[in-house]
Structure 1
Amino acid sequence: MQFSELAKTNKLRASRTPIVEIVDLRSGNQTLHLDRIPENDPLRFEIEIALNDGVSRRVSVGTENYFLRVHAPKRRIVVVGAVHITQHLAPMASATGSEVLVIDPREAFASAARFPGATIYSLWPEEAFAAIQLDRSTAVIAVTHDPKIDDPAIVAALSHGCFYVGALGSRKTHAARLDRFQSYGFSREQLLSIRAPIGLDIGARSPAEIAVSILAEVIAFQAGRVGRELI
């Protein structure tokens, strides 16, 4: 890859732009594709799969062979609510290689002492999201149980196409949430994508167990395995 292309790749990766580097295995030529792929591109389908999976692969189109090298943004987990569940969730998520951000305007809760290793925003979600780049490699988890804090976070996550949007609360609480969201202009599909009650149904009861169920669901969602039976 030429230096100019390498510099472009590094700049795009720094901005969390998904990239597929296409290597023609016959000629050695390399080209970059972002997440917008021309309709007439013969590799369109394979590029879309690579971008969605985040997995590099060798592919063939006709008699031509290519290697698709994927540069996917690191998974980012944004937790809105510096509560007990988050104290368990944050270190577990970090252990999986995720970047963890914790948002809560209550400074007594959102402290580095309670969340070592996480990036802390002692701000309201609207203020924090002005500084955070939400994208489809980001999961947003709302666990304060306070609509004044949770609702703006969910709205922002839906608006930016985050791959996972989850919210703590019972089915009754979520039904009331959906009633509020009807006026925001989201499609039925977007509203149904909110995971609530949050987490995989593993019978979790304690804050630590709920954190496990949430993280498992986030991982399953990004891997495209939601809806499959647990084995």
Structure 2
Amino acid sequence: MKLALLSELNAERTARRPAIVVTDVASNAQRLVKAADFATDPLHAELDKHLRMNKSAMIEVDGRKLFLTVHAPVARLVITGAVHISQALAPLAASLDYDVIIVDPRTAFASPERFPSVPLIAEWPDTALPPLNVDRYTAFVALTHDPKIDDPALLHALARDCFYIGALGSRKTHAKRLDRLKAQGAREADLSRIHAPIGLAIGAISPAEIAVAIMAEITAELRLPKAAKAQESAA
């Protein structure tokens, strides 16, 4: 790989922006496709597919063999609420290679004894979230049931374009939440992105089952193409 291309790639990776190196196998010519250019690239369908799956692969286009080397940021999961569901969700997400962080100002809940291997930030969201540089490769989950914690955290997640945003609570609870967020300036289009009640509808009851439902919904949001997700929602 030429130094100039490597420097560009490293800059994208440092900024947590996905990129794909396209290598012509016959000529060994390489080019870098940045996330901002995916939609207009001739290979956009293949680029989108392999980025979603986070898998490098060989493809053939017009008789040419091209190798796509995928460079995707490590997905993160930010959870507000050091609750029982979080105790099940955090290790499950970590087993799927997510970087997990839990935010909860309530030190009685956010303790190393309850979360021995998870980074904890015992601060209010207004203080804890900005330094995390939450981005579109972040899944965000609000689990406290406390508007003083969850509401500002959800507004932050919406502003930072997280790929998944979910909140615990019934439809009635969520309707009240939406009213509060609207009163704070949130737009309808943004609020529609919040998954609530959180998780896939699998009849989950226990904290562990709810964690599975949440992680399944996050996975679907990350991996499935938009058309498939739209069909699933319509069904």
Both structures adopt the same fold (TM-score exceeding 0.5): yes
Supply the RMSD in Å over aligned alpha carbons. Answer: 2.3
Match of 1:98 in 2: 98
* 1:117 equivalent in alignment to 2:117: yes
What is the 5 A alignment of 1:174-185? 174-185=174-185
SS in 2 for 1:85: helix
Give, in whole Å, the separation in 1 of the partners of 2:41 and 2:14. Answer: 26
Q: Give 1:135 deviation, angstroms.
A: 1.8
- Work out the CA distance in 2 between the residues paired with 1:206 and 1:41: 46
Q: What is the aligned partner in structure 1 of residue 20 from structure 2?
A: 20
Per the TM alignment, residue 174 of structure 1 is displaced from its structure 2 partner at its CA by 0.4
Q: Residue 169 of structure 1: SS of its match in structure 2?
A: coil
Tell me how far 1:63 sits from its aligned partner: 4.5
What is the rounded CA distance, in whole Å, between the counterparts of 1:116 and 1:6 in structure 2? 38
Aligned AA for 2:153?
A
Contiguous gaps of at least 5 residues in structure 1: none
Q: Is contact 1:80-1:150 (8 Å) kept?
A: yes
Normalised to the residue count of structure 1, the TM-score between the two structures is 0.88
Are 2:19 and 2:35, in contact at CA under 8 Å, matched by a contact in 1? yes
Identity %: 46
SS in 1 for 2:132: coil
Question: For each residue in 1:133-175, what CA deviation from the matched residue of structure 2 results, as whole angstroms up to 9, or x when unmatched?
Answer: 2222210000000111101111111112111100011100101
SS at match of 2:194: coil
Question: Helix, strand or coil: the match of 1:114?
Answer: coil
User: Closer, same or farther in 2 for the Cα pair 1:45/1:206, shift >3 Å?
Assistant: closer
SS in structure 2 at match of 1:131: helix
CA contact (8 A) 1:101 1:118 kept: yes
- Partner secondary structure for residue 115 of structure 2: coil
Identify if the C-alpha distance between structure 1 residues 116 and 15 changes in structure 2 by more than 3 Å, giving closer, same or farther.
Answer: farther
The residue correspondences of 1:53-72 to structure 2 (distance < 5 A) are: 53-72=53-72
Large movers: runs of 4+ above 6 Å: none
Greater CA drift, 77-86 or 64-73: 64-73
Match of 2:223 in 1: 223
| Residue aligning to 2:202 | 202
**Using a 3 Å threshold, how does the CA distance of structure 1 residues 43 and 124 change in structure 2: closer, same or farther?**
same
Aligned to 2:108: 108
Report the Cα distance in structure 2 between the residues aligned to 1:104 and 1:23, rounded to whole angstroms.
45
TM-score, with structure 2 as normaliser: 0.86
> Cα offset for 1:206?
1.9
2:76 is aligned with 1:84? no
Q: Distance in 2 between matches of 1:142 and 1:61?
A: 44
SS of alignment partner, residue 166 of structure 1: strand
Structure 1 counterpart of 2:95, which letter? A
User: In structure 1, what is the Cα distance between the partners aligned to 2:207 and 2:142?
Assistant: 14
Structure 2: gaps (5+ residues): none
8 A contact 1:24–1:67 mirrored in 2:
yes
Q: Deviations over 1:13-39 (max 9, x none)?
A: 233221111112232111212111177
CA shift, 1:125, in A, is 1.3
Q: What secondary structure, in the 3-state scheme, does the structure 2 residue paired with 1:140 have?
A: strand
Q: Aligned equivalents of 1:42 and 1:99: distance in 2?
A: 33
